Chain A
């Protein structure tokens, strides 16, 4: 059974700091991995999708890496800003007919001005 874990559960950093969020999964048989952002009480915004054959994806100040063999992904946020404060969720797509997402519990990020 696929399980996704995110560490740390919460993180508080001063503005301008570079930071890394971690995601691990127990079964390497995934199709892809997605990182999402969720603001309080809101829906999910897709940030990056990494296909299982890829090692990393970049979008602006965000860079996500994937190491399938070790069951790990990291989300790197450069030069953090207060507007980056949100919960960040990673999810893997597993291979049954539904191609459902299996989520971690998220990392709650606070960037202090």
Chain B
């Protein structure tokens, strides 16, 4: 079975631009979460969606938004990019919205110049 997939793999943007990152969960998984990992640190929680509804939001500005589609795939949007948004963005999926194991995708490396 295919794991969590993310696109694109790498992305280079300039300050002030907008970016959309995409995630497809493992088949049968209904929950998707997004994490930001800055170099040398552990991932930080951005959003969780379950059954197309937002279940949680981390301490990120309103420039960050996300949604989940009927097929359970998800998009993360970041507006007005800042240099500090440069990071590895990870998507994770799990079967339900609870405490079961989360499976991570390979990530999208975003560089903001």
Contact = CB atoms under 8 A, between A and B. Distances in A.
A22 interface: no
Contacts, number: 69
B104 A4 contact: no
A51 B100 CA distance: 10
Size category of the B interface is 20 to 34
A71 interface: no
B106 A100 contact: no
B41 A99 contact: no
B109 A32 contact: no
A103 interface: yes
Interface residues of A, number: 27
For the residues of A in contact with B, the DSSP-based class is strand
A103 B109 contact: no
B16 interface: no
Nearest to A30: B99
Contact of B106 (A4, A36, A43, A105): A43
Interface of B: 4, 33, 35, 40-45, 48, 55-58, 88, 90, 92, 97-99, 101-107, 109
